[in-house]
Structure 1
Amino acid sequence: MRMVITVMLAAVLTATGLLAPAQARTAPKVTAAEVYLIDATEGTVRFAKRETRRVPVASLAKVMTAYVVRKVAPLTDVVTVSASDVRHAVSGGATRAGLRAGERLTVRDLLYAMLLPSGADASQALARRYGPGVGRFVSRMNAAARSLGMKDTWYTNADGLPQTGGDRSTARDQVLLAQAALRDPVIAAIVGTERHAVAKTRAHRAHVWRNTNELVPDEAFGVKTGYTRAAGHCLMFAAERDGHVLIGVVLGDTGPAARFRTARRLLDAVAAT
């Protein structure tokens, strides 16, 4: 509960521009193009690098998709996966959760499918159902971004796949989103899960989904990875160090392992101060 209250407080401070810069002893070496890290407990900015530069954020967009779904959909709702949902993920070369047309899964399970293995098939199914229609759902995403104070963010789809006039956001805005998402206990529990299994039923086949965030569960309690060629390797992360909740975003890193190294260096640097 204290972590949730702390995240809520820092969200207000960030949105109003009241976060104070912290005094770091040494700046960590980072390879990412854009970085933003806050100490949500103290209400301070611990590291910032091009944090207001507008860039693609790849699958970090799915965190907003989850946030919007949680506002409009009961967890027990059942969604039927369509052939178009699967085709969308396949044609876009996206990461998939292995869903098949005709499967019927709950919203809860589809959130796991979207946030752990980063399934674009799952995000498409959710967006199509709860727009209704993907276009209306994206409008919901942009309205939510405005309500959260994400002034430099624009979404064009529910998964962050490359698109003409595509998604743009900033590291600072994505930290705002992380704070909002972590205030939801369901999203917080999902992104902090290492593995989720769904048993076979008449409605769907068996699935096992693993979190793509290598920091979970030992080094962090969330949140989401992302990658496209345009966005580079991205990471939204949240961790606790010495009783302090730290929330950060790494955008445009040089490789899949580099984003985790960057996050670890940032967390270690805070712990050393």
Structure 2
Amino acid sequence: MASMRAGVLAFFLTFALFTGTAAAQTLRAPSVTASEAFLIDAETGTIHYAKRQTRRVPVASLTKVMTAYVIREEADLDDVVRITPADVRYAAAHGATTGGLRAGERLTVRALLHALLLNSGADASHALAERYGPGTRRFVAKMNAAARALKLRDTRFANPDGLPAQGAYSTARDQAVLARVAMRDRVIATIARTKVKTIGRHTWHNSNKLLGDGVIGLKTGFTTAAGYCLSFVAEVRGHLLIGVVLGETTENRRYASALRMLDWAEERLQ
């Protein structure tokens, strides 16, 4: 695994204008350029890397992990949701990533979860929140109630999609805890590791470029305020590792930081 991942790391480092080799980086604590980062063993609780992990910051579309988690509590996978003009307008008005949904079409909750987690569709998150709040305000209240139940004391949601909003924040640590819980759900875990999914007229592509070579999830995010974010899950030497990268300056640096952290943990696990 290490040799294959080293090749991927070299690719991202080249485009991120990093220097040095992946092999050299495993000899010392990784140089992680993200503003906040955290990597933990989901089973033993061992913290492999921590950098400002309790600092409250916006987390962009990592928010949609909580949206999916709440939906799994509130909805049946075969429920059918009608997409409204407001769902489509919402995503367009905010310049958000969409799942390409059309007003009037009817999609199952299972399909909308794919649009939500693979394409990071704000139209899907809006449609789900409106149906299962009912209404976005009530749905966000459910998200915050779930955060309290999970003891995410430094997390507050203001919408179901992670678009910039006053008073919305989380931490690298809290997002790692959320990722750990979410990945225990077989549906979320299956979707998170899916690279491409076609349902009806829609084909959704996973935005997580790290998938493969042990990486099995979970979610990307970006806004100008939050920077490039990533919640990632990987199987390394028989251990399930949960990591979070927040506030990176470019997409490739986001992946490079995650790979450096994973290589460091793999070295420690030898």
- TM-score scaled to structure 2, two decimals? 0.88
Gap regions ≥5 residues in structure 1: 1-23, 200-205
Q: Residues 118-141 of structure 1, C-alpha deviation per residue, up to 9 Å, x if partnerless? A: 000000000000000000000000
Q: Match of 1:247?
A: 242
Q: Which stretch shifts more, 217-226 or 246-255?
A: 217-226
Counterpart-to-counterpart distance in 1, 2:167 and 2:90: 16
The Cα of 1:215 is off from its aligned counterpart by 0.9
Which residue of the partner structure matches residue 180 of structure 1?
181
What's the counterpart of residue 225 of structure 2? 230
Q: CA deviation at 1:25?
A: 6.1
Whole-angstrom distance in 1 between the partners of 2:156 and 2:174: 11
Picking from 89, 94, 113, the partner of 2:96 is 94
Give, in whole Å, the separation in 2 of the partners of 1:190 and 1:145. Answer: 22
Instruction: Give secondary structure in 2 for the equivalent of 1:224.
Output: strand
Alpha-carbon separation, structure 2, partners of 1:42 and 1:145: 22
Q: Find the partner of 2:123 among 114, 117, 121.
A: 121
Percent of residue pairs bearing the same amino acid type? 58
Does the Cα contact within 8 Å between 2:114 and 2:204 map onto a contact in 1?
A: yes
Partner residue, 1:146: 148
Structure 2: gaps (5+ residues): 1-25
Q: What is the RMSD computed on CA atoms of the aligned residues?
A: 1.1
Alignment of 1:18-33 (within 5 A): 26-33=28-35
Cα distance in 2, alignment partners of residues 221 and 32 from structure 1: 21
How far is the alpha carbon of 1:272 from its aligned partner?
Answer: 1.3
Indicate if the aligned counterparts of 2:214 and 2:236 stay in contact, CA closer than 8 A: no
Normalised TM-score (structure 1)? 0.87
Runs of 4+ in 1 over 6 A off after TM superposition: none
Contact 1:99/1:122, CA 8 A, preserved across alignment: yes
Tell me the residue number matched to 1:47. 49
Question: Any idea what SS the aligned residue of 1:240 has?
Answer: strand
Q: Residue 54 of structure 2: SS of its match in structure 1? A: coil
Cα distance in 2 between the residues matched to 1:228 and 1:241 = 30
Give how far 1:39 is off. 1.3
Count of equivalent residues: 243
Residue 41 of structure 1: CA displacement? Answer: 3.0
